[in-house]
Structures are given as structure tokens and as C-alpha cells.
Amino acid sequence: IFGFIAGVVVMLSYVLDGLKLRIANVIGSVLMVIYSVMLHSISLTVLNGLCIVIHLYYILKEEKNHEKK
């Protein structure tokens, strides 16, 4: 059930755009990391961990650009 919920959150994030997409995807990826750790799946943990890092980078970059304006 936990993995299904995490997958649904990630999938729903794709109907959003911009910052909302990235935030929802980070939440879904965090849930997927927790799930993949429970499954002892290193590949899923690394993949979703990288998704979190990438999305957080762009979220922070967008926030920094927004503060300059």
C-alpha cells in the first residue's frame, strides 16, 4: 500500500506544472525512497534520491531567482 501511495503521488505530480510539480514530485520521491529502503532496493533508492536532489536544486534555483526580482 505504501508503495502504491508513493507512486500515485509521483504520477499526480505530472499533472501539475512549475514549482507545484517539483514540490509534489519531491514528496512522492521521498515516499518512494522510504518504500525502496523497506524493500532493500538500492537501485530504486538511488534513482529516487537523485530525483529529490535534482528537484530540490531547481526549487532552490527558482526561489533564488524569485528573490532577485
C-beta separation of 10 from 22 below 8 A: no
**3-class SS string, 4-34:** HHHHHHHHHHCCCCHHHHHHHHHHHHHHHHH
Question: Which tens digits make up the pLDDT trace of 12-21?
Answer: 888 888 888 8
Q: How buried is 7 (Cβ within 10 angstroms: 0-12 exposed, 13-18 middle, 19+ buried)? A: middle
Q: Please write the tens of the pLDDT for every residue from 14-69.
A: 888 888 889 988 998 999 999 999 999 999 999 999 999 999 999 999 888 887 76
